[in-house]
Amino acid sequence: MATLYLVSTPIGNLGDLSARAEDVLRSVDRILAEDTRRTRPLAERVGAEARLVSLHQHNERGRVASVIEWLDSGENVALVSDAGTPLVSDPGESLVKRVAAAGHDVVPIPGASAVLAALVGSGLPTERFAFLGFPDKKGGGRRALLERVRTSDETVVLFESPQRTVRLLQDLMDACGAQREVAVARELTKIYEEFQRGTLMEVLAYYQENEPRGEVTFVVAPSGDEESEEVHAQLMDRGREVARDLLSEGVKPSAAAKDLAARLDLSRNDAYRIVQSLREDTEDV
């Protein structure tokens, strides 16, 4: 039976391609690539003569049957992403599932991964972590992710575009508090590799002054004892006391929520919920 190889490729520094990965790319009959234009220079560099075939999120479902036919005919196939380990926030999940079900071997060729590189370089706990990929841009999915990060007892790794890095830092600070530790890794393994480590407030301030460029990976510290459910509940109780005073003084609800968040280092969502609940209680009386 032929084999599907999942080949990890460099995330920046071409020297990170392993000797085993080079051998596999030279030996297979076809290379499935997310973008053949980006993979071609790498294939030429290692002397791979295999035919390059595109496989991306828009054509994966239709490509699977062809890949299984190639494997059935005895052709070995390699799957690569544009950079890093295939299937990690990249296409290939459906392909691997179907190929394995068809009885063919699926062999990972380990190598570079932005997730692990950022995690081990972050200075944050590494024993237990969760990788959550790219956050939704808006809506319930984004709110759910932020809440998961807020309450997580594991280090969380996220991907984000440079254009949305400042916004994600702001949203994380609103959700987790200004003092939660974070590391933002940029351009990993490349000439301008950079780690910014500190609190969410500190790293946000840095990127508000220094526009981020290149690939960005977030590593967010787990919630600490100070953010336990009991402590959070006590903070919310104090928030209701302060909000009640502000509303009784005639402060508008929107201004009260903003003031409340600033005074107690509450997230904007928590401050809004407190003010809204007090307004509803007043209306019910």
- For the entire predicted model, the pTM comes to 0.76
Q: Name the 3-class secondary structure at 76.
A: coil
Using the predicted structure, report yes or no on whether residue 271 has a pLDDT greater than 70.
yes
* CA 30/CA 51 separation, integer angstroms: 5
User: Cα dihedral angle (251, 254, 256, 261), rounded to 10 degrees?
Assistant: -170
Q: Can you give the pLDDT at residue 136?
A: 94
159: enclosing H helix or E strand: strand 155-160
Q: Would the CATH topology of 3-112 be identical to that of 115-224?
A: no
Beta pairing partners, 9: 84
Task: Kindly list the domain boundaries of the chain, sorted by start residue.
Answer: 3-112, 115-224, 228-284
* Distance of alpha carbon 3 from alpha carbon 78, whole angstroms: 8
115-224 folds as 3.30.950
Q: How far apart are the first and last CA of the chain?
A: 74
What is the C-alpha to C-alpha distance for residues 233 and 241, in angstroms, rounded to an integer? 13
Query: Following CA atoms 50, 54, 60, 61 in sequence, which dihedral angle do they give, to the nearest 10 degrees?
Result: -80
For residue 275, the surrounding DSSP H or E stretch is helix 268-284
Q: What local confidence, expressed as pLDDT, does residue 283 receive?
A: 62
Q: What would the pLDDT profile of 179-206 be if each residue is shown by its tens digit?
A: 999 999 999 999 999 999 999 999 999 9
With a CB cutoff of 8 Å and minimum separation 6, the contacts of 53 are: 30, 31, 32, 33, 36, 63
Provide the pLDDT for residue 228. Answer: 55
Q: CA angle 223-87-220, nearest 5°? A: 15
- Pairwise CA distance, residues 40 & 164, whole Å: 30
- How far apart CA 236 and CA 270 sit, in angstroms, is 8
Q: Under a CB-based contact definition with an 8 Å cutoff, are residues 169 and 206 in contact?
A: no
Query: Which DSSP helix (H) or strand (E) runs through 30?
Result: strand 30-33
Q: What is the mean pLDDT of residues 12-24?
A: 95
Residue 101 pLDDT level (bands cut at 50, 70, 90):
very high
pLDDT of residue 233: 75
Name the one residue in this structure whose structure tokens are 């690569």.
80
| Pairwise pLDDT comparison (264 vs 133), residue with the higher score | 133
Residue 275 in this model has a pLDDT that exceeds 70:
yes
Nearest to 23 by CA among 68, 90, 67, 78: 78
Q: Is 214 left (phi over 0), alpha (psi -120 to 50) or beta?
A: left
pLDDT number for residue 30: 97
pLDDT of 208 above 70: yes
Give me the residue label for tokens 């301030």: 205
**Tens digits of per-residue pLDDT, 22-58?**
999 999 999 999 999 999 999 999 999 999 999 998 9
State yes or no: pLDDT of 152 exceeds 90: yes
Mean pLDDT of the chain: 92
Of the chain, the percentage scoring pLDDT greater than 70 comes to: 96
280 pLDDT band, cuts 50/70/90, is: confident
Give the H/E segment covering residue 199: strand 194-199
Residue 226 has pLDDT above 50, yes or no: no
Query: Looking at the domain that runs over 3-112, which CATH code has it been given?
Result: 3.40.1010.10
